[in-house]
Chain A
Amino acid sequence: MKYSALNLLRNGLRHNRDWPEAWRHPEPKSHYDVIIVGGGGHGLATAYYLAKEHGLRNIAVLEKNWIGGGNTARNTTIVRSNYLWTEAALLYEKSMQLWEGLSNDLNYNVMFSQRGVYNLGHTLQDMRDIERRVSANRLNGLDAEIVTPDQLKRAIPALNTSASARYPILGASLQRRAGVARHDAVAWGFARAADALGVDIIEQCEVTGIERRNNKVTGVQTSRGHITADKVGVVVAGHASVLANMAGLRLPIQSHPLQAFVSEPLKPVLDTVVMSNAVHGYVSQSDKGELVIGAGIDAYNGYGQRGSFATIEHALQAIIELFPSFSRLRLLRLWGGIVDVCPDACPIISKTPVNGLYFNCGWGTGGFKATPGSGWAFAHTIARNRPHELNAPFSLDRFATGALVDEHGAAAVAH
């Protein structure tokens, strides 16, 4: 049933008794043409675009828990495409363009809210980096501009633009088309749309082994039995190395906890997204009114989804530095996810040395924004067995050739 105001009205009159399931809950079949491991946003998007763009139908998404429960449910939902390097910018911009039509494409309101993202500069070097990134963004056809402290003061009254701040704000880059989206809705919307095209979404189904014969993938072992497949695409974020290990591969990835938290819901105080590398904090306000705040990465490795409180303290010190009036607000809920970090802070969307096995990972602290674009490019790579030109620079072999796309220098906090 199409989601629309009219149907909302009609169903309301019937006490909402006729709404169908957003996605089916089928038993796994014994064989699929393509199996996607990992029911996060990226995995579900991959399945959707495989069906929609490449006409495949016999597809399953296997999720060990509940769909969208990994980093998709845990991130701070910042969506932007103003990356420095052309390779990265074009990939994220593809994603941005998909975001712009996503609610209608999926017929599910993912609440993509283009409220702008400001990246603050606090030092002369910050400002040089901003100039460089904005200059590159413009040439790449992205919207980007530099704003002055005065403009910031007007746009974001709560922001401390005083020259006597510990790290006075000298300016910022602004991408107006950037913003935030409703993370759960992204997973559910992709699930529903993929399901409508015949994709089987199978929850509570953990992949425990990747089967191969003659260096070609033949299927997977799961907590719900053995399933054969012609192709297997793995999109499991923080657990990428674990899955790679099942296929005898090693990835240049480190898994770290990354934490975030929200305040209690408040009346609107901040109608945009503010990020600062120098003081290490970023914040936006959700539609519900909660301030959504991200912390820095926890330095140690692990799969525990638990960070340390010191990281939260630092994040709040930074937020109060930027917004002194937020000090009396209260932390409502904090959590952690496990992020998969590549040495160059860019993803891997790639074929692997095993035929028919594909990996999409390494999005680290900033992959939510890429959800549609990542799925789109990964679907292309799987369906055609070769990367699209947008994701060719993000192949696994770059770590051997050295052709890294190093986004660290320009965006230390890469959300």
Chain B
Amino acid sequence: MQKNRLQSGGRIDRTQVLNFRFNGRAYQGCAGDTLASALLANGVYLIGRSFKLHRPRGIVGSGAEEPNAIVQIGSGAATLPNQCATQVLLYEGLDANSLRGWPSVQFDVGSITNWFSRFLAAGFYYKTFMAPRKLWSFYEKLIRDSAGWGHAPTKADPDFYEHRNAHCDVLIAGAGPAGLMAALAAANSGARVIIADEQSEFGGRLLSQTDEIDSMAATDWVAQAINTLAQHENVRMLPRSTVFGYFDHNFVTIAEHCTDHLGAHKHTTVRERLWRVRARQVILAQGAFERPLVFCNNDRPGVMLASAVSTYVNRYGVCPGREVVVFANNDSAYRCALDLDAAGASVKAVIDSRATGAGDLQQEVEALGITVMTGHVVTNTLGSQQIRAVQIAKFSIEGTVPATLPAQDLVTIQCDLLAMSGGWSPAVHLHSQSGGRITWSEELHCFVPDGTTQNCVSAGAGNGAWELHDCLRQGLEAGKAAIEYCGLEISDLAEPKTEGIETNSLQPLWRVPAVKAPDRCPKQFLDFQNDTSVADVRLAVREGYRNVEHVKRYTALGFGTDQGKLGNINGMAVLAEYLGEPIANVGTTTFRPAYTPTSFGTCAGETVGQLFDPVRKTAIHEWHEAAGAKFETVGQWLRPWYFPDGDEDLDAAVKRECLATRRSVGIMDASTLGKIDVQGPDAVKFLERIYTHDVGKMKVGRCAYGIMLGEDGMLKDDGVMARLGEQHFYLTTTTGGAASVMSWLELWLQTEWPDLDVYLTSVTDHYSTISVAGPTSRQLLQAIDCDTSLDAADFPFMSTQTATLCNLPVRLFRVSFSGELAFEINVASDHALTLWCALMDAGKNFDITPYGTESMHVLRAEKGFVIVGQDTDGSVTPTDLHMSWMLASDKDFLGKRSLRRPDALRADRKQWVGLIPADKTTVIAEGTQLIEDTAARAPVPMCGHISSSYDSPTLGHPIALALLKGGLERAGEKVYASLANGKAVPMTVTSPVFYDPQGERQRD
């Protein structure tokens, strides 16, 4: 039975009953309810417990400002922690649970902390738990276990998300009266308009009020406006869409909630969509938040914002109380009294702190026979898990707010609901996020937008306009101004007619005095979620935390899931009081995205899982897979690591692959090498500056091993480069460095040397590269119909030419990374698999063996070739690598100057050496540090480290490559590899070239 549900009225559908559960009990609500309205309809007031003191808490608000009604929805992989009951739309089967309270939210053992609250004042944890030191981890565990709200899911998210980009002329945040009016004004002009509102229905406060616009019910006006907008193709309406971030250059992010309100579903459509909007103009019309009043025990369930009470009555057909007291310092709450009376509740009194009372509305209220007590305040509430009564007292401000109220003056009024209103605060969040300033209005008693840095304007209650006609007018003007800015035709839309009323101004009342001083009276809460009270702010000021940011951080004010939407302004005003300064001087803390919490998944979009960073595969990948290759991740690529024969392990496979290559022929897919095509009249000039060697002296058709340095003179990347024409070069880079080298070259070309006429094209994916290496590699190519001579005389080592191989056009390079006679074949990627298969077929006669990256590493290590990124780390000069011969002396190149710095010339730099374990059996882990003194104690001086290490199949014993202090001069000496277990393995220093030092085989 929905005991608080009204017989009629509201925007819910009473014929569509929805079953739901809260804390295990079954309830019913109606379609159109939020979880909060459904709970209130069922008379459920106690929703949760507070963060620190475990005080019973109920629903306070009706939207994003709600601090208390934070629940966990559902269970399993799709569970949602920390949901705001006021924002969760009810659906059949919804299952919600309170987040605090053990064993139950009604009986919570933790609530004893409330008794000790005076020892748990702001920042208490900074002052204790220090000794003995060991116990801190124990205390910390207690703190952690008691902190936090909801439970994270433990399984992967079953839903998916997407991103959409949009451009528009006018983006309107908020579809209340101001936002709708702005949209109407803009729609006719043909401008591209996006209007977004976080709620399920457009209309904003109009859905909760009983006003009339153009002589029709406000809700009818809303329906009409939506209808009009729907007829404009240039208008995109986004309900359930929160504008949560405002970044530079009018870049605005919107989270559209697509499926959460549908309940159980199969996760086959997008759950949430992130709109990334670049808008020419932004109109901010998000309305205002009502402020609570601050008095003792103002946190009891049954104490609600007056506007929220009106919302529940008018929009949801729920009357949250039978005997109600209204407490306000402004006129707006009188509407709540009228709404309650109309709903059949008994309004026991309207307590107005102002001696003057209200304007027109007071008469309306009094005409219903409701008592209005002006010059009074509610100073305390009674009750336990729900409010039972309020204590009121006479009140007047003569100069200053009285420090305390006399106890004998207190009058108790029984009630089950207290509707309060401390005035309104514009939602300046997005304006502030945009970089706009806000100032304190002494007239309106709130922060209002003041000056923008981006193309945006605020309108309506978000701009401090409280009256409906002001909101409509501001919306209209903002809409027209935006259109004018876009250079489009302005419509002659007129301002709708509304009835104005006389109001009295608000009386600033930031803290209601109590019978005792704030330190001793029952808690007067500022931030409900974090249990921050007036006494906490006072203590912070007393302890010298005076800046608003310090106070926020010391007291946790505004740090909750509501981000202080409810309590911050009161907190700042109380801070101002204790500092003895005007609020304007105190200022606010910074408003940061997200406006309301936004799912990680939404921000990440579709770029997760296998799409996180799509795998790059070569054109021959399928063949490798079919051959049973094991793969290694290199950059974004998957490369064959080794090709096990049967159940061979890595070592066995590598040994076989290496020996076959040295003996007959091996074949490797080297397609992942970065490839850059360089053309243009200044190609030589450009490459001379990039590479260290004499590029200009290269003959067409020749290849060279090239290195490039960073500005610091350290080796950056390497690769073979070839001169294909007078003004045409082809560069290769390391697999991992491909993208960064390309950007590096473009950076220089575009920003430093724009005068050079050079064009760079990445051809990494265009060509696949197949490397065949080994003494019979030449015969192999001849066996597949090579149309040119491959003899050393015609096609010498380090040269390139075009050719056809089994009728496919290819480019051949006579280069070798294994030390054997070898050819690299570039072929259009479409033909790569065909060519590979042809080679494999023909290769049967030569015992051809495919090999992977591991064998490639071993073969090159035996030959003493460097791998950039493995053997170097950004701190290695060419000289350290025995590459001084590559530094052309008669030209300048990047990094050259740095090579003359004293540190680059030091004799004891770490230099490139080979190492052989003295016992000729131990394979040392790559990365192991080298030391000289095995008896030294920490910090043990290190003289280098092992960068590559293998059990060499060719040599029959382990070898390693290392960077060793002064290594160039140390051949034959002994150093130690320091193992994880503390042992030190003696290693003999050798040349890094272990195999064919004269290079005869590759030149063959």
Using a CB–CB cutoff of 8 Å, the interface residues on chain A facing chain B are: 3-5, 7-9, 12-13, 15-17, 19-25, 65-66, 69, 73, 86, 89-90, 101, 103-104, 107-109, 111-114, 122-125, 127-136, 138-141, 146, 157-158, 160, 166-168, 182, 184-185, 188-189, 203, 263-269, 271, 279, 285, 287-289, 304, 306, 308-309, 312-313, 316-321, 324-335, 343, 398, 400-404, 406, 408-410
For window 227-251 of B, CB contacts with A under 8 Å fall at 245, 247-248, 251
Residues in B neighbouring A317, C-beta threshold 8 A: 604-605, 607-608, 612
Q: Tell me, in angstroms, the Cα distance from A265 to B147 when the chains sit together.
A: 8
For window 121-160 of B, CB contacts with A under 8 Å fall at 121, 124-131, 133, 136-137, 140, 143-145, 147-157, 159
Residues in B neighbouring A135, C-beta threshold 8 A: 927-929, 945, 978, 980
For window 599-615 of B, CB contacts with A under 8 Å fall at 599-601, 603-605, 607-610, 612-613, 615
Other-chain contact of A136, B276, B519, B604, B942 (Cβ < 8 Å): B942
Whether B27 is near chain A, meaning CB under 8 Å from some CB there, is no
Q: Tell me, in angstroms, the Cα distance from A12 to B245 when the chains sit together.
A: 42
Whether B114 is near chain A, meaning CB under 8 Å from some CB there, is no
For window 692-714 of B, CB contacts with A under 8 Å fall at 712-714
Surface stretch bound by A, among B204-212, B463-471, B541-549, B658-666: B541-549
Residues A308 and B247 in contact, CB atoms below 8 Å apart? yes
**A15, A123, A402: residue with the most chain B Cβ atoms closer than 10 Å:** A402
For window 561-577 of B, CB contacts with A under 8 Å fall at 561, 563
Nearest 6 CB-CB pairings of A with B: A289-B148, A141-B938, A131-B927, A402-B901, A132-B927, A409-B873
Residues A289 and B938 in contact, CB atoms below 8 Å apart? no
Residues B133 and A330 in contact, CB atoms below 8 Å apart? no
Whether B104 is near chain A, meaning CB under 8 Å from some CB there, is no
Residues B128 and A309 in contact, CB atoms below 8 Å apart? no
For window 865-898 of B, CB contacts with A under 8 Å fall at 869-870, 873-875, 898
Residues A103 and B130 in contact, CB atoms below 8 Å apart? yes
Measured CB to CB, the closest approach of chain B to A164, in angstroms, equals 9
Measured CB to CB, the closest approach of chain B to A336, in angstroms, equals 9
Residues A16 and B546 in contact, CB atoms below 8 Å apart? no
Residues in B neighbouring A13, C-beta threshold 8 A: 118
Residues A90 and B78 in contact, CB atoms below 8 Å apart? no
Residues B149 and A264 in contact, CB atoms below 8 Å apart? yes
Q: Tell me, in angstroms, the Cα distance from A188 to B245 when the chains sit together.
A: 31
Q: Tell me, in angstroms, the Cα distance from A312 to B143 when the chains sit together.
A: 29
For A268, give the chain B residue with the smallest CB separation.
Answer: B144
For window 518-569 of B, CB contacts with A under 8 Å fall at 519-520, 535, 539, 542-547, 549-550, 553-554, 559, 561, 563
Residues in B neighbouring A12, C-beta threshold 8 A: 116, 118-119, 121
For A306, give the chain B residue with the smallest CB separation.
Answer: B248
Residues A109 and B873 in contact, CB atoms below 8 Å apart? no
Whether B82 is near chain A, meaning CB under 8 Å from some CB there, is yes
Residues A328 and B157 in contact, CB atoms below 8 Å apart? yes
Residues in A neighbouring B902, C-beta threshold 8 A: 401-403
Contact A324:B157 (CB < 8 A) given known A8-B128, A20-B543, A263-B600 = yes
For A191, give the chain B residue with the smallest CB separation.
Answer: B544
Q: Tell me, in angstroms, the Cα distance from A403 to B77 when the chains sit together.
A: 53
Residues A140 and B133 in contact, CB atoms below 8 Å apart? no
Residues B128 and A166 in contact, CB atoms below 8 Å apart? no
Residues A111 and B598 in contact, CB atoms below 8 Å apart? no
Residues B597 and A264 in contact, CB atoms below 8 Å apart? yes
Residues B149 and A266 in contact, CB atoms below 8 Å apart? yes
Whether B409 is near chain A, meaning CB under 8 Å from some CB there, is no
Residues B152 and A266 in contact, CB atoms below 8 Å apart? yes
Measured CB to CB, the closest approach of chain A to B161, in angstroms, equals 8
Whether B390 is near chain A, meaning CB under 8 Å from some CB there, is no
For B154, give the chain A residue with the smallest CB separation.
Answer: A325
Residues in A neighbouring B978, C-beta threshold 8 A: 135, 138-139
Residues B939 and A3 in contact, CB atoms below 8 Å apart? no
For B542, give the chain A residue with the smallest CB separation.
Answer: A19
Residues B81 and A113 in contact, CB atoms below 8 Å apart? no
Residues in A neighbouring B143, C-beta threshold 8 A: 287
Residues in B neighbouring A401, C-beta threshold 8 A: 901-903
Other-chain contact of B81, A107, A109, A160, A264 (Cβ < 8 Å): A264
Q: Tell me, in angstroms, the Cα distance from A319 to B612 when the chains sit together.
A: 11
Contact A266:B81 (CB < 8 A) given known A333-B592, A334-B593 = yes
Q: Tell me, in angstroms, the Cα distance from A134 to B563 when the chains sit together.
A: 41
Whether B79 is near chain A, meaning CB under 8 Å from some CB there, is yes
Residues B633 and A306 in contact, CB atoms below 8 Å apart? no
Residues B276 and A158 in contact, CB atoms below 8 Å apart? no
Residues B563 and A332 in contact, CB atoms below 8 Å apart? yes
Residues in A neighbouring B939, C-beta threshold 8 A: 86, 89-90, 139-141
Whether B678 is near chain A, meaning CB under 8 Å from some CB there, is no
Residues in B neighbouring A332, C-beta threshold 8 A: 561, 563, 594, 597
Q: Tell me, in angstroms, the Cα distance from A198 to B762 when the chains sit together.
A: 63
For B608, give the chain A residue with the smallest CB separation.
Answer: A320
Residues B128 and A140 in contact, CB atoms below 8 Å apart? no
Other-chain contact of A185, B79, B126, B248, B599 (Cβ < 8 Å): B126
Residues in A neighbouring B539, C-beta threshold 8 A: 16, 19
Residues A329 and B130 in contact, CB atoms below 8 Å apart? no
**A268, A309, A410: residue with the most chain B Cβ atoms closer than 10 Å:** A309
Whether B634 is near chain A, meaning CB under 8 Å from some CB there, is yes
